[in-house]
Amino acid sequence: MLIALLTDIHGNREAFSAVLAHARSLNVDRLVLLGDYVGYGADPAWVVDTVRTLVAEGAIALLGNHDAAIDGTDEDMNPIAQEAIRWTRGQLGMEQRAFLADLPLVHEEGDILYVHANGYAPRSWNYITDTLEAARHFSRVEAHITFCGHVHVPMLYHMSTTAKVGSFSPVSDNEIPLLPTRTWLAVIGAVGQPRDGVPAANYAVFDTARQCLRYFRVPYDNMEAARKVREAGLPEKLAQRLEEGR
């Protein structure tokens, strides 16, 4: 089975559309969406409605911190994120907000864990940005493979049988075998707001039969997405991020 892993769409219709088209061209069998469908981007309603349709067709969708903030608190967010969330609240109807509020924090299938931020305390929204944080995850989570988002930068962490933790930045379109002798934590880069200096949308595909992971970069009309952010009156920094990928 080929599982497409998408995260941090952040109201970016252009990026989401391009990634979905790319995934379908690979004939993926399933979509797993790791959260943060709203915030930052100019098309939150369209994105949420698309996610709702995908879930009705069999996709898995999880809760992200920006999704939780729609009917929760945004006090722990920076001022730009707060402004985007407060604007987004006015763009969503009751059914869309209820859909986000009902999303689960985690999804487990066998020895695989799917989550937005981390596996040891999903609602803490703690970021995994280095091997120290990855080691904390590995020490508290039993899953052999964990897929998460939240960081907006693709990274792959692994732990050996001697508890040594390592990491590397994945290269796009290269197959990475997730060896059974190691435990894995795959941080999937953002669809809708990459922050690694590459504007192209990021997602990954996991081959369950071959236990191989492939990260992809998908070019999209990021200038149009940035234009719509400006037109909506959202902070200029959010448009610049789409243009620069950081």
Q: Any idea where the domains of the chain sit in the sequence?
A: 21-244
Backbone angles phi, psi at 22, to 5 degrees: -65, -45
Q: What does the pLDDT read at residue 75? A: 86
pLDDT in tens, 148-200: 999 999 999 999 999 999 999 999 999 999 999 999 999 999 999 999 999 99
Does the model's pTM come out above 0.95?
yes
Q: For residue 212, is pLDDT > 90?
A: yes
**DSSP conformation letters of 90-120:** TT--HHHHHHHHT--SEEEETTEEEESS-SS
Mean pLDDT over the full length of the chain: 97
How much of the chain, in percent, has pLDDT values that exceed 70?
100
What is residue 125's predicted lDDT score, i.e. its pLDDT?
A: 97
**Topology of 21-244 in CATH?**
Purple Acid Phosphatase; chain A, domain 2 (3.60.21)
- Partners of 216 in the beta sheet? 203
Q: Which residues contact 184 (CB under 8 A, 6 or more apart)?
A: 144, 145, 146, 156, 157, 158, 159, 178
